[in-house]
Amino acid sequence: MAKIVSLLQQKGGVGKTTISVHLATQIKETFPDLKVAVADADPQQSATVWITKGNGKAGVHVFPVAQDGEGKNLKSELSEVEADLVIMDLPPAIASVSMRAALYSDLMLVPVGASALDIEAAKTAISVCKEAIELDATKQFLLVPNRVQLNSAAGRELRSVLTKFGPVSEATLCLRVAYADSVMHGIGINKFAPSSPAYQEIGMLAEEVVRMLKLKGGRSS
Ligand SMILES: Nc1ncnc2c1ncn2[C@@H]1O[C@H](COP(=O)(O)OP(=O)(O)OP(=O)(O)O)[C@@H](O)[C@H]1O
Ligand SMILES: [Mg+2]
């Protein structure tokens, strides 16, 4: 069965879809032998719109899951996917679909912005991740600082604040227009802005995810 990575956060607009698509396309580029897919569990279908807009240029497939809004069939939907790695984009709610996603994920990523409200809002998702890990200690989670402005005190301090709540990704994703502009072209940063700072950031996150999941050259060990 594919390794499952889910993007969880009840707060809207924190970067779940952005990270899902850029991470999937970046991992596919760095590890071309890996079969990478995006599972879109959000009724807004943002990841689907983004990837289909590119007519295959993104290099990863996207497929809908949890169309019932609750994810009652999520386990079987995921088990049927022919992929080594599935990145699952979730809606902005810790509803049953997100709880189920946590149960079936190997790695949960929680994007968090630098404001106090963002950090407060992440606490529910962090609790869900910790509960899932209590049930199955092989699961992992990471807080992913996103939309960070390093020229602000809050941005510079975010990493040290977040370490009080859980493990923080090595990569800090800054506020960069390339992350948003690539959507219009239906591609990820790897094709939209290769060698840009955004590419370096997503590349670092991609390598960390692949390492955590022990995925190497197309196979999980
Ligand atoms: N690091 C970033 N730099 C610049 N813009 C970003 C960054 N991350 C996300 N954005 C932008 O912020 C907005 C919200 O991001 P996104 O849609 O990924 O959030 P989301 O958590 O999936 O939202 P929702 O909960 O509504 O699904 C988008 O316009 C996106 O382009
Ligand atoms: Mg989204």
Q: How far is the CA of 180 from the centre of ligand 1 (A)?
A: 7
Cβ neighbours, 10 Å, residue 81:
18
| pLDDT for position 219 | 45
- Ligand 1 centre and the CA of 135: distance in Å? 30
User: How confident is the model at residue 221, as a pLDDT?
Assistant: 45
Burial of 56 (0-12, 13-18, 19+ CB in 10 A): exposed
For a substitution probing ligand 1, which of 8, 11, 16, 18 has the most ligand atoms within 8 Å of its CB?
A: 18
Q: Which residues surround ligand 2, an ion (CB under 5 A)?
A: 16-17, 46
Q: Which helix (H) or strand (E) holds 145?
A: strand 140-145
Between CA 74 and CA 159 the distance in angstroms is 33
147 CA from centroid of ligand 2 (Å): 14
Candidates 62, 52, 64; CA nearest to 28 is 62
Q: What is the pLDDT of residue 195?
A: 87
Nearest residue (CA) to ligand 1, atom 8: 15
Q: Distance (Å, rounded) from C-alpha 198 to C-alpha 47? A: 19
Q: In a 3-state reduction of DSSP, which class is residue 110?
A: strand
Residues near ligand 1 with C-beta < 6 Å? 12-18, 42, 44, 46, 92, 146-147, 173, 175-176, 179-180
CB 56 within 8 A of CB 105: no
- Tokens 């940063």 locate to 189
pLDDT of residue 169: 98
Residue the block writes with tokens 């497939």: 61
Residue 217 confidence (pLDDT): 65
List the residue whose alpha carbon is closest to atom 3 of ligand 1.
175
Tens place of pLDDT for every residue, the chain, 221 residues? 899 999 999 999 999 999 999 999 999 999 999 999 999 999 999 999 999 999 999 999 999 999 999 999 999 999 999 999 999 999 999 899 999 999 999 999 999 999 889 999 999 999 999 999 999 999 999 999 999 999 999 999 999 999 999 999 999 999 999 999 999 999 999 999 998 999 999 999 999 999 999 997 644 44
As a whole number of angstroms, the distance between CA 182 and CA 189 comes to 6
Phi, psi of 38 (to 5 degrees): -110, 125
Is the C-alpha dihedral spanning 166, 18, 23, 159 positive or negative? negative
Residue 67 carries which DSSP code? T
Cβ neighbours, 10 Å, residue 207:
16
Tell me the domains of the chain and their CATH numbers: 3-216 (3.40.50.300)
